A and B are shown apart, each in its own frame.
Chain A
Amino acid sequence: MGNRATGQASLWSLFTSFVRIGMAAFGGGLAAWTRREIVEERGWLDDRQFLSGYALSQLIPGATNVNLAVFIGAQMRGLAGAVACFLGLTAPPVLLTLVIGYFYLHSQSHATGAWVSPVLAGMGAVAIGLSLGTGVRLGRHIRGMIPIAVTTIVSLSIGVFDYSLVHVLLVMMPLSLVLAWATRSR
C-alpha cells in the first residue's frame, strides 16, 4: 500500500488547506475534497492512513468531515493542529451561514430565488458522483475476496437496503476485525 506518508505541515498550511476544502465542497462531497487535498495534493497522509481516519470519524458521533479534520490535524500537529484544521473547515461556512441567516430572518418574504433550486440540484447530483468516484479511487487499494466482500456488504446494506449505519457498523466492524486478525501476515 505504498510508503507511509510522513509529510510535515505548518499550522498555517493545515488551516488554509481546510479552508480550501470547506469552500470547495459547496453542496457536498467533502470527503472527496479532503482526500484530494490531504492525500493527492499535499501528501500528508497515504490512502491507508486516510481510510482509517475516515472510518474512525464515522464511528464517532458528530459531523464526519469535521471529525476527520480534527483527526488529521491531531495526527499532524497535536492540539494546535486539530484546532487549526477545525477552524479552517468550520469558520468560513459559519460566518457565511450567519450572514445569510441574518438576511433570511430580516427579509419579510423569506423568499429564495427560483434559479437556486436547479443549481443546487445540479451540484447535489455532482456531489453524489464525487462520493461514488472517491469510493472507486479508494477502492483500488482493496484487494482480496474478504475485504471486497466487506466493502460490498457495507455499501449495499446502508446505501441500497437502508439498514442503519449504527447497526451495520456494530455487525461489520467486529467481523472485519476478526477477519483482518485471522488473515494477518505473520
Chain B
Amino acid sequence: MTTVLIRLMLLFGGLSMLAFGGGSGVLPDMQRASVDHYHWLTNKEFLDMFAISRAQPGPGSLIVVLIGLKAAGLTGAMLSFAAMFAPPSVLVFAVARFWHRAAATAWRQVVERALAPVAVGLTFASGLALMRQTEHGLVPWGVSAISAALFSFTNINPLLLLAGGAAVLLLAGT
C-alpha cells in the first residue's frame, strides 16, 4: 500500500508541473501510467472517471482524486489531490507575492499591458478550441453563439443560460 501511495504522489506531483495550459495536456500520460503501467484501473473506468470529473464543478484534473480512490482508497484520493495541486499553487503564490511587491513599478505596468491582449486571446482560444474538440452539431453551435451574445451584452445570470442550454438539448433529443 505504501508503494502505491508513493507512486501516486510521484506520478501526479511530477505531472502537475508539466500541466501547462490547464491540465488536459497531461491526461494521456495519466491514462498510460494508471491503466497500462500500474494497472490501477481499466481503460473503461478511466474514461468514465474522465466524464465524471468533467461533469463536476471545478477543475477537470480532479480525475486524480478518482484514480487515487480506486488505487488506494481515501488516503490515496487525498494524497493524489495534494500531489496534483500543491506544487503549482506554491509556485503561483510565490509569483503573486513578487507581483504584489512590484505594484508601483514601471516594469509591472509594461508587463500588465503586454499580458492583457495575450490573456484575452487565450480566453477566446479556449472557447474556440472546446468548440472544435466537442462534436458540435447545429443545435449546440446555436446554443453557444446565443449564450455568447447574451453573456457579452446583457447582465443575464449565467445559471439561467446553463439551465436553458440543458433544456434545449434535452428537447432536441441529441
Footprint of B on A, CB under 8 Å?
22-33, 36, 48-49, 51-58, 60-67, 70-71, 74-75, 78-79, 82, 86, 89-90, 92-94, 96-98, 100-102, 104-105, 110, 112, 115-116, 118-139, 141-142, 147-148, 150-160, 162, 164-166, 169, 172-173, 176-177, 179-181, 184
If A24-B158, A126-B143 touch, does A92 touch B95 (CB 8 Å cutoff)? no
Q: Binding site of A, secondary structure by majority: helix, strand, loop or mixed?
A: helix
| A131 and B127 form a contact (CB under 8 A) | yes
| B93 and A74 form a contact (CB under 8 A) | yes
Report the Cα distance A98→B78, complex, angstroms.
10
- The residue that B69 contacts in the complex, of A93, A101, A121, A129, with Cβ under 8 A, is A101
Decide if B113 is an interface residue (CB 8 Å cutoff). Answer: yes
| B19 and A159 form a contact (CB under 8 A) | no
Which 9 A-B pairs have CB atoms at the shortest separation, nearest pair first? Answer: A62-B88, A154-B121, A159-B128, A93-B58, A129-B147, A133-B151, A122-B169, A74-B96, A131-B127
| B52 and A100 form a contact (CB under 8 A) | yes
Q: Binding site of B, secondary structure by majority: helix, strand, loop or mixed?
A: helix
| A129 and B151 form a contact (CB under 8 A) | yes
Cβ distance A124 to chain B, nearest Cβ, rounded Å: 6
Interface size class of B (residues with CB under 8 A): 35 or more
| A97 and B21 form a contact (CB under 8 A) | no
Q: Name the B residues within 8 Å of A98 (CB-CB).
A: 65, 69, 74, 77
| A112 and B48 form a contact (CB under 8 A) | yes
**What are 29 A-B pairs at a CB distance below 8 A?**
A27-B55, A28-B130, A32-B158, A52-B99, A52-B112, A54-B119, A58-B21, A60-B91, A61-B19, A64-B22, A66-B59, A66-B88, A70-B93, A70-B96, A86-B89, A101-B65, A118-B166, A120-B54, A121-B134, A121-B169, A126-B144, A126-B158, A126-B161, A126-B164, A130-B161, A147-B113, A155-B124, A155-B128, A162-B129
Cβ distance B5 to chain A, nearest Cβ, rounded Å: 17
- The residue that A151 contacts in the complex, of B44, B92, B120, B149, with Cβ under 8 A, is B120
Q: Name the B residues within 8 Å of A48 (CB-CB).
A: 112, 116
| B162 and A154 form a contact (CB under 8 A) | no
Q: Name the A residues within 8 Å of B111 (CB-CB).
A: 52, 177, 180
How many residue pairs, one in A and one in B, have C-beta atoms under 8 Å apart?
366
| B117 and A148 form a contact (CB under 8 A) | yes
| A31 and B123 form a contact (CB under 8 A) | yes
| B114 and A122 form a contact (CB under 8 A) | no
